[in-house]
Structure formats: C-alpha cells, structure tokens
Amino acid sequence: MTDATPAAPLTTAEDNQWASFAHLGGIIGFLPALIIWLVFKDRGAFTNAEAKEALNFQITILIAYIVGAILSIILIGALISLAAWVVSIIFSIAGFLKAKDGVAYRYPFAIRLIK
C-alpha cells in the first residue's frame, strides 16, 4: 500500500484560472463553485477565497429561487426568480472578469455561510 502524495500547489496562472471558473460557473448554478472549492481549496489560496465567495453568492441566489418558487402563485414570485437569474449572470461574469486577472471579487450581497 502506498501513501498518497499531496497534490502540487497551483501556479499563479492556474490559481487565477480556477478562481475565475468558480465565478463563471455561477451561470449554471452552485455546483461548479462547490466542486472547484472542494477540489482546489488546499492547492491555491486565491482559488480557495474566490470559490468560497462564489459559492456563498450562489447559495444566496438559490434561496432567492426557492422564495420565488414558493411565491409563484402570485406574479411577484416569477419576478423574484427572473431578477435572481439576471443578477446571477451579471455578477458571475463580473466576478469571472476580475478573478481571471488575479483581482479578488466581492459580490455586493451574499449570505456568507461558508467562512
């Protein structure tokens, strides 16, 4: 039986790349940020921070979708879901553009569940 060797740390370029992908993945939901954070959190400090930020934002958006679904009986629920979708796309792209250049991005609002 052999011991597993720890994965090599990410280079700066790789760190920026995975951090930016964590933000961009928000376009399709919270899973990309979660997967990137779980896989790379110990290999790159920037990826760790940015993937947590993206994941917290996507969890906030998921809560907005749930509220919209609950309120879908009335028109306001559909508007909440639509607004959450548009905001998610806009801020995910903004986060991607900052992180790809190595600049930390902080969403204007997010429930910070993962510290």
Q: Is the pLDDT higher at 114 or at 64?
A: 64
Tokens of 35: 């997967």
**Other CB atoms closer than 10 Å to residue 58's CB: what's the count?**
27
Residue 4's identity, in one-letter code, is A
Annotated domain spans of the chain = 12-99
14-67 pLDDT, tens digit each: 999 999 999 999 999 999 999 999 999 999 999 999 999 999 999 999 999 999
User: Which of 92, 73, 94, 87 has the alpha carbon at shortest distance from 33?
Assistant: 92
The pTM of this model reads: 0.88
80-113 pLDDT, tens digit each: 999 999 999 999 999 999 999 999 999 998 888 8
